[in-house]
Amino acid sequence: MPEKRNTPHELRVYKIVILGDGGVGKSAVTLQFVSHSFTDYHDPTIEDSYQQQAVIDGDAALLDILDTAGQVEFTAMRDQYMRCGEGFIICYSVTDRHSFQEASEYRKLIQRVRLSEDIPLVLIANKIDLVLARKVTTEEGKNLANQFGCPFFETSACERHCIDEPFYTLVREIRRKEAQGSGTSSEKLHSRRRSRWWRIRSIFALVFRRRRNLN
Ligand SMILES: Nc1nc2c(ncn2[C@@H]2O[C@H](COP(=O)(O)OP(=O)(O)OP(=O)(O)O)[C@@H](O)[C@H]2O)c(=O)[nH]1
Ligand SMILES: [Mg+2]
């Protein structure tokens, strides 16, 4: 009998969003992960998405990665994709202290949009090959990740150092959360509120339609 194989349709898709300040290397890290390549010029992203299959702990996964804009002029869609992401990678550059400080702002933004503390998250400190330009220590990165309660990795997209681990770890975090149950109580409340709002909106639409028909 032929061996049963997973078709792409049977793959579990993991929606991953990568966030961080402009120029920290979000696109470079993502491109290294999906295509093992690196470009040394900065082409500011508006929004790109990539798909990559992987077998993680024996289970096949399709990582659907949204590479977002760090430049403020391109961030209009931010709330929208924060609502759909199942897991987030926050990236800063060890050569840019401001990007490190902004990592906390990205975390707050996720919590504000999702109304939850328990969203699968990984923190990465990129550009560690630029040793002489380093402004943020490993210790500071670890402390921030402890504060976030999330895994932490130091990466170099340029040298392809520690590129796969953050993505694999994030999938594990998503799986762990799924195994614990379908979402926290505040998330459930949020989705209930959304459906309640949807029902109220439908009732109003019906009443207005009737009144219009009567006039
Ligand atoms: N030396 C070194 N340079 C890097 C590394 N990662 C990215 N870069 C460089 O940093 C610059 C910005 O990288 P991008 O990946 O475009 O940064 P980004 O975060 O996607 O920027 P936006 O799309 O504008 O938000 C580019 O010139 C990259 O070549 C790294 O690990 N080491
Ligand atoms: Mg980019």
27 CA distance to ligand 1 centroid (A)?
7
> Domain containing 61: what range?
11-214
Which CATH number characterizes residue 210's domain? 3.40.50.300
Does residue 59 form part of some domain?
A: yes
C-alpha angle with apex 84: 201 to 21, nearest 5 degrees? 125
Shortest CA distance to 170 belongs to which of 52, 79, 76, 74? 52
4 within a domain of the structure (yes/no)? no
Dist. CA 191–CA 115, nearest whole Å: 10
Round to whole Å and give the CA distance between 110 and 98.
19
Q: Say what the pLDDT of residue 211 is.
A: 57
Number of domain units in the chain: 1
> Measured from the CA of 161, which atom of ligand 1 is nearest?
31
The residues, ordered by sequence, that sit 6+ positions from 106 with a Cβ below 8 Å of its Cβ are 19, 20, 88, 90
Q: Would you say residue 48 lies in a domain?
A: yes
Q: Is the per-residue pLDDT at 89 higher than 60? A: yes
pLDDT digits (tens, 9 = 90+) for 10-69: 789 999 999 999 999 999 999 999 999 999 999 999 889 999 999 999 999 999 999 998
DSSP character for 2? Answer: P
Does the pLDDT of residue 151 top 80, yes or no?
yes
Q: How confident is the model at residue 189 (pLDDT cuts 50, 70, 90)?
A: low
What average pLDDT does range 140-169 have in this prediction?
98
* Closest ligand to residue 162's CA: 1
Distance between Cα 149 and ligand 2 center (Å): 26
Q: Which residues contact 150 (CB under 8 A, 6 or more apart)?
A: 121, 122, 123, 173
pTM confidence score: 0.83
